[in-house]
Amino acid sequence: MTKGKVLVVGSNATRIEVQGNRWGATGQYLNETVVPAMALEAAGYEVVLATPNGEKPTIDAASDAPAHFENDAAAYRAGRDYFDASAAMNSPRTLRSVIDDGLDGFAGVFVPGGQAPVVDLMQDAEVGEILRHFHEAEKPTALLCHGPIALTAAMPDPRAFRAALIAGDDAKASEWAKDWTYRDYRMTIFSASEEKVVEEHILHAKMYFDMPQALTAAGGRVETTPVDFEPHVVVDRELITGQNPRSDHPLAKAFVEALDARLG
């Protein structure tokens, strides 16, 4: 017996648009995926992974290192083994199949980061359908690092919103976001200054928009730390967001606490 099922919404993106009509490699971050998932299982929850096309997410090579596990080689190995071999991470479903089978049986939903969600999840209609269900049911909804960008999928036309951001038209993006589910929620996400580190050292190119810019244009009340890469979690109603990779453990703790509290 488990306390309940938790849906983990993964990305299938493996590359991301960057300025200059080029693409950079991307994926999900290993620690941001496995640390919360492992914490959920340790707390007695069943993890169900689903992605847009039903295939397992790709791990961003930049995250596949002990450095993202506080330089703890044993923790990194445990996380890598969990992603490679656990039943939860190796039986992915399509988002559509999960929706069709019914979302009422899930206690909460979690979206990991890495830049991949910026490509597919933030403009995916099925992600929007899932998020609106958990919002309306007031079920814990957790997103980490770049993961909170997926919240924009819950607006009426997320594709138009994203296109406006890429075109550099924040005013038009805000128009598309006028009926956004999470308007006026407090939230956090990977900061603009943290993104510059990724642009300079990993992508070697600039992205079309940064994450706080996008969520602010959507109508969110975005809060980020003055010091880059310090752990930071924001909780507002059912929404739990973590700012960066080092927020993995604090977000997992807050998410499990919210799930347990809802169980009573």
What CATH number does residue 247 fall under?
Answer: 3.40.50.880
The per-residue pLDDT for range 128-137, each reduced to its tens digit, is 999 999 999 9
| pLDDT confidence of residue 114 | 97
Length of the chain: 264
Domain that holds residue 146: 4-263
For residue 87, the one-letter residue type is: A
Tokens 């492992």, residue located: 38
Give yes or no for a contact between 238 and 257, defined as CB atoms under 8 angstroms apart.
Answer: no
Give yes or no for a contact between 31 and 79, defined as CB atoms under 8 angstroms apart.
Answer: yes
Residue 178 phi/psi, 5-degree rounding, is -65, -25
Give yes or no for a contact between 251 and 36, defined as CB atoms under 8 angstroms apart.
Answer: yes
Number of domains in the chain: 1
pLDDT greater than 90 at residue 1: no
pTM for this structure?
0.98
The per-residue pLDDT for range 140-173, each reduced to its tens digit, is 999 999 999 999 999 999 999 999 999 999 999 9
- Nearest Cα neighbor of 49 from 3, 104, 7, 111 is 7
pLDDT greater than 90 at residue 180: yes
